[in-house]
């Protein structure tokens, strides 16, 4: 093997194994610290790490709709460090338990961002005690040249404690209870007025 052939082989090895490793990243979930109880609202961040030249992305997030209800999706700060963006919150479907099509892209002929940070944040309402998986899927990550960036996902789960004192009373129950207490108070005042007459 000549020196030129050896040099060519080394270049091909670098192209096949080293370069793709530079254009790969991971998305994972950033859960809030501390306990979460039924009735609480909390935010889950979708975090990126290890990216080079990230220009645009899209992902879905699934959850257990009997435990959690998605309230809103907001843009994270990571892509914004590269310039002006166009953010799509995606569609919330609390019947099936999925936030689909959350996407963001930089605008203009600029390079993408490097490193990691929060891509988007999803606010949830905890409906009941139990455990809900949080599953990232359908990742599509692009460089400024619109080439696919290899992306791995790391999913998680969240545990919700039952509401203090049992279940959270429904508004109608609270209203009925309040009306009953007011009626008892008025009856007590009338009896007191008859006794003093």
d(CA 52, CA 82): 12
The residue ranges of DSSP E strands in 63-110, in sequence order, are: 68-75, 85-88, 91-93, 98-106
Residue 121 in contact with residue 93, Cβ under 8 Å? no
Backbone φ and ψ of 110, nearest 5°? -130, 165
d(CA 104, CA 75): 8
Would you state the structure tokens that stand for residue 197, as one six-digit string?
A: 């007459």
Q: What per-residue confidence (pLDDT) applies to 1?
A: 56
pLDDT tens, residue order, the chain (197 aa): 554 344 334 333 433 344 444 458 999 999 999 899 999 999 999 999 999 999 999 999 999 999 999 999 999 999 999 999 999 999 999 999 999 999 999 999 999 999 999 999 999 999 999 999 999 999 999 999 999 999 999 999 999 999 876 544 434 434 444 444 444 444 444 444 444 45
What is the DSSP code (8-state) at residue 147? -
Q: What per-residue confidence (pLDDT) applies to 156?
A: 95
d(CA 156, CA 169): 30
Q: How far is the first Cα of the chain from the last one, in angstroms, to the nearest whole number?
A: 119
| Size (the chain), residues | 197
Residue 143 in contact with residue 54, Cβ under 8 Å? yes
Q: What per-residue confidence (pLDDT) applies to 7?
A: 36
Alpha helices in the chain (DSSP H): 3-13, 19-22, 171-196
Residues 6 or more apart from 190 whose CB is under 8 A from it?
A: none
d(CA 168, CA 166): 7
Q: What is the DSSP string of 118-172?
A: EEEEEEEEE-SSEEEEEEEEEEEEEETT--B-EEEEE-EEEEEBPPTTSSPPPHH
Q: What per-residue confidence (pLDDT) applies to 184?
A: 41
Provide the 10 A C-beta neighbour count for residue 79.
Answer: 26
d(CA 135, CA 13): 35
């Amino acid at each position: 093997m000549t020196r030129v052939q050896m040099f060519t082989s080394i270049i091909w090895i670098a192209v096949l194994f080293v370069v793709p490793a530079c254009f790969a990243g991971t998305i994972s979930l950033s859960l809030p610290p501390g306990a979460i109880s039924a009735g609480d609202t909390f935010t889950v961040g979708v975090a990126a790490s290890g990216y080079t030249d990230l220009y645009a992305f899209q992902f879905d997030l699934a959850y257990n709709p009997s435990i959690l209800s998605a309230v809103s999706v907001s843009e994270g700060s990571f892509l914004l460090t590269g310039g002006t963006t166009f953010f799509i919150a995606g569609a919330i479907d609390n019947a099936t338990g999925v936030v689909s099509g959350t996407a963001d892209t930089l605008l203009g002929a600029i390079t993408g961002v490097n490193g990691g940070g929060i891509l988007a944040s999803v606010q949830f309402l905890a409906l009941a005690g139990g455990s809900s998986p949080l599953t990232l899927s359908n990742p599509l990550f692009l460089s400024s040249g619109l080439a696919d960036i290899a992306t791995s996902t790391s999913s998680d789960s969240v545990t919700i404690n039952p509401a203090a004192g049992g279940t959270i009373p429904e508004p109608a129950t609270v209203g009925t209870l309040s009306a009953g207490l007011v009626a008892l108070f008025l009856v007590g005042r009338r009896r007191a007025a008859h006794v003093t007459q």
